């Protein structure tokens, strides 16, 4: 699914959608998707999740919540419409 375009002040802007990455993934693609969404290196999110997990366990809970509720990107779907095994 392509992002929708919106016109703001005569300029076209694209709306971004948070998805899990199928190309830049170590576990579930959450950090890769966050990195692509915010335009930063996914390693920053991976380190953040690891530190938060070691300090309080909240990093693992946040990762699992994002894994459960954020949809994978369209590249993970074959032409037949069935998910491709990672």
Average pLDDT in the chain: 82
Which helix (H) or strand (E) is 38 found in, with range?
helix 30-38
pLDDT of residue 77: 54
* Within a domain: 8: no
Total of domains in the chain: 1
Range of the domain at 26: 18-76
pLDDT of residue 83: 56
Joined tokens for residue 52: 């938060």
Whether residue 14 has pLDDT greater than 90: no
* Within a domain: 52: yes
pLDDT of residue 85: 55
* Within a domain: 7: no
* Within a domain: 5: no
Asked if 86 contacts 76 with a C-beta cutoff of 8 angstroms, the reply is yes
* Within a domain: 45: yes
Q: Higher confidence at residue 53 or residue 77?
A: 53
**Which of helix, strand or coil describes residue 52?**
helix
User: What's the average model confidence in pLDDT over 66-73?
Assistant: 93
pLDDT of residue 79: 43
Q: Higher confidence at residue 34 or residue 11?
A: 34
pLDDT of residue 7: 52
pTM over 0.75: no
């Amino acid at each position: 699914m392509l992002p929708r375009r919106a016109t703001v002040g005569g300029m076209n802007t694209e709306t971004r959608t948070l998805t899990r990455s199928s190309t830049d993934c170590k576990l579930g693609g959450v950090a890769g998707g966050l990195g692509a969404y915010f335009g930063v290196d996914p390693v920053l999110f991976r380190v953040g999740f690891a530190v938060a997990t070691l300090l309080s366990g909240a990093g693992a809970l946040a990762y699992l919540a994002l894994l459960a509720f954020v949809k994978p990107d369209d590249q993970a779907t074959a032409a037949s419409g069935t998910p491709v095994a990672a």
